[in-house]
Structure 1
Amino acid sequence: MTAVARVRAAERSDLSRVAELAAAHAEYERAAPPVPDLAERLAVLLFDTPAPRLCCLVAETAGGEVVGYATCSPEFSTWEGREYLYLDCLFLTPGHRGLGLGALLMDAVTDRARDLGLSEVQWQTPAWNDGAIRFYARLGALGTDKRRFSLHVSS
């Protein structure tokens, strides 16, 4: 494993780096880039909201470099009549994959679920992302086949 100082909650000063990592994440997943003002939007959601739902965790090397992030928030399952923690993003820079950092981020996410009294974490990954699928399977996660849709709503 790489020398990782810690996985910790993101601070306001981390958000420009998180936005850079989100752009790399979007490129990796062959998606459109994040909005240009992502760091500012995240600041509002994480720090300028009285009761923030969003949690952002960062993986930081011993040298203080932020090399990965995970974001999650509570969501609701109608079929089960309960909340769960939705892991929206988990990303590590290519040079820091396979070193145990993903597991540390997932441990921090599951700790967050426990802190909120939630018994499950759910997430998705592209069907072609074999590395991520193998990683999640090693953690004991179970996959389901679904397609994600989005519908843009004009104001």
Structure 2
Amino acid sequence: MIRAATVDDVPEIRSMIRELATYERAPEQARATDEQLRAALFGERPAASVLIAEDDGTGEIAGFALWFPRFSTWTGTRGMHLEDLYVRPHTRGAGHGRELLATLARICRENGFERFEWVVLDWNEPAIAFYKSLGAELLDEWTVCRLTGGALEELAARAPADGSRAL
């Protein structure tokens, strides 16, 4: 069963984020707190949405998908970015990942989103094979860029002090 997350799911969502970070060999990077997730997901201006996969037999939370809208200047339409998809190892193979992705695809269709995109680590062969089996196109010609920490601070310091504020 796939359902929208509720504020009561936040501790489980945080736990699964940490499980995912451990699987992706970066547990120290998963620092989000319950309070941060509550504000980001259920606050006045939610930054993202979460779907929960529950195991039909036990009602146990088997996995989650966290996504947010994006915009394409090329198509002039909104799309969806899937930030995290995670299914707990002991529940894999029961179709939870496929159900989460199918539900997200339905949300895209219902909202007129023309693109549904996410990233996958190049060493995660099981995930890559799974995504290809669904018809996903892997865009090898694109490289993800990221600024964090000191580099982000240094670039921000170069911005004009009197510049307009986007938010």
Classify the TM-score, shorter chain.
Answer: 0.7 to 0.9
Q: Does 1:55 align with 2:49?
A: yes
Specify every segment of 5 or more residues in structure 2 that has no aligned partner in the other structure, as ranges: 157-167
User: Identity of aligned pairs, percent?
Assistant: 33
Normalization by structure 2: what TM-score? Answer: 0.81
Counterpart residue identity of residue 95, structure 2:
G
2:15 maps to 20
User: Which protein has the bigger helix share?
Assistant: 2
Counterpart residue identity of residue 94, structure 2:
L
The alignment's C-alpha RMSD in Å is 1.7
Larger Rg: 2
1:42/1:112 CA distance change after superposition, 3 Å: farther
Q: Which runs of 4 or more aligned residues in structure 1 lie more than 6 Å from their structure 2 counterparts after TM superposition?
A: none
The answer on whether the counterparts of 2:62 and 2:96 sit within 8 Å (CA) in structure 1 is: no
Specify every segment of 5 or more residues in structure 1 that has no aligned partner in the other structure, as ranges: 1-5
Larger RCO, structures 1/2 (Cα 8 Å, 6+ apart):
1
SS in structure 1 at match of 2:29: coil
Normalization by structure 1: what TM-score? Answer: 0.87
In 2: Cα distance, 1:46 partner to 1:115 partner: 21
Displacement after TM superposition at 1:122 (Å):
0.5
1:71/1:21 CA distance change after superposition, 3 Å: same
2:76 maps to 81
2:144 maps to 148
**Corresponding pairs, count:** 148
In 1: Cα distance, 2:92 partner to 2:43 partner: 32
In 2: Cα distance, 1:98 partner to 1:134 partner: 13
